[in-house]
Amino acid sequence: MKRFASVLALLALVAATAVWATGGEEKDKVAAVKLTLLNSNTEKPERAEFFTRLAEKYHELHPNVTIEVTGTSFTDVNTNILTAINAGTPYDVFTSTSPIWINKGVVLNLAPYLEADGGAWKKELYDSIIQGLTQPDGSVYAMSLWMDTTPLLYHKEIFQKLNLKVPTNTAEFFAACDALKGAGFIPFQVHGSMSDDLLNVFTWQFAAKYNVKAYDVVQGKVPMTDPWFVDSLKFYKDMNDRGYLPPNFWAMGGTEGRTGYATSKMAMRFGFYWDVDTQKDMGMPYDNQGVAAFPNITGTAGLKVYKTLSLQGVMVSKATKSPEHAVGFVRFMTNKDNQDDMAYKYFGRYPNGMPTVNKAVKLSPYALSYIGDIASGVATPYYVGDVSLKFGDLWMQQLPQLMQGKATAEQVAAEFEKLRTGK
């Protein structure tokens, strides 16, 4: 009976690969199929349009397949997913940054599809993407559509004026910040919505230093009171104590965020900065925005770490009635033409192209700087286990305590550990 079941499973997989193996190049003449897609990439109209257009293009290739797109937000997406599951009408395909759905076992394993046909789909993508998404048992439960590795951005004009070089380690980084501060510039831009991203850069570097596996972190297996996290908090606090962060940084009691920067023209006064959009809005052309790998801040020579994060992992529900088209649609998202459209037409946040996952898309030097060694997959340090959504809220509470000297790095880490363990 077991052998018979295995044969049936193999036949089912072969049937599924018939449609998606071509990445959506053959039209179907079979029964009507309706898929549902929940998309949380709606913060900008053009991004929402990208997913709607993908659904239309897939229908043009497969006239019998209709994809109904529902828009939501980063904040509400996981609630929407849970509501649909509880109602017995789960979305066939959905976007999410949280590993909760993987942990709950409701997501389809994409590994067999990536490996089918001699690994045709897998070969289209950067190896680093596959490595970052692969679980210890070889499963792949989400697909990235782009890379976001948080490089070091710097103001070329200011650097030339002060004769500064791009730093590669802590000593050089702090020396550049001191020079910027001494010349009347604010060394490093960071504001509320980006403060957790900066922590991610630090934590993944220290995780690599201490040989902590990203997968173990996001599964909630690693104590938050260990050095990989505590040292990251200390480094963040040290940057602030040295005067490298904006004096009105919200964690210090200030209120000036993105709108404030735009209003006061502060963005033009930063040596290192975070948000390319803000700089562009200030009139700084993209060609004046330098980009480099974030410096090695760990003190461990030779350690090279890039944080790789898909802002949205695309997942397929196990409950889908048409896995061949649900997976086929995900692969369709990653093909060269659609990735090219995403990089240069719809996702215009990055200068000269978004860093894509398809190797055939021509990338600019800016985008190429994003591709490096994998330190994380589709989750961030505070996305841990089933309490992931609470970690972001806790960070917003604890960061001011840390920066204002009301709590030590060890005390802040202990609060995160309580949330991880539930004790």
Among 402, 354, 291, 389, smallest CA distance to 75 is for: 389
Over 60: is that where the pLDDT of 311 sits? no
Q: Cα 323 from chain centroid?
A: 25
pTM, full prediction: 0.67
Decide: residue 334, CB within 10 A, 0-12 exposed, 13-18 middle, 19+ buried: buried
Cα–Cα dist 83/77, whole Å: 10
Cα–Cα dist 376/133, whole Å: 8
The pLDDT value recorded for residue 212 is 83
Cα–Cα dist 52/196, whole Å: 30
The pLDDT value recorded for residue 343 is 75
177 vs 125, higher pLDDT: 177
SS3 state of residue 313? strand
What's the CA dihedral at 121, 122, 124, 128 to 10 degrees?
A: 150
Contact (Cβ atoms closer than 8 angstroms) between residue 39 and residue 51: yes
Percentage, residues of the chain above pLDDT 70: 69
pLDDT band (50, 70, 90) for residue 381 = very low
- Please list the residues that pair with 188 across neighbouring strands: 272
pLDDT tens, residue by residue, 250-277: 555 544 444 444 444 555 677 887 655 5
Cα–Cα dist 40/5, whole Å: 37
Cα–Cα dist 35/91, whole Å: 8
Cα–Cα dist 265/186, whole Å: 12
The pLDDT value recorded for residue 15 is 40
Cα–Cα dist 335/396, whole Å: 38
Whole-Å CA distances, 137 to 8, 91, 219, 244, 263: 23, 26, 14, 43, 50
The pLDDT value recorded for residue 257 is 43
The pLDDT value recorded for residue 249 is 59
For the chain, domains (ranges, CATH) are: 2-96+108-141+310-368 (3.40.190.10), 152-308+378-421 (3.40.190.10)
The pLDDT value recorded for residue 160 is 94
Cα–Cα dist 232/166, whole Å: 22
Mean pLDDT, rounded, of the chain: 77
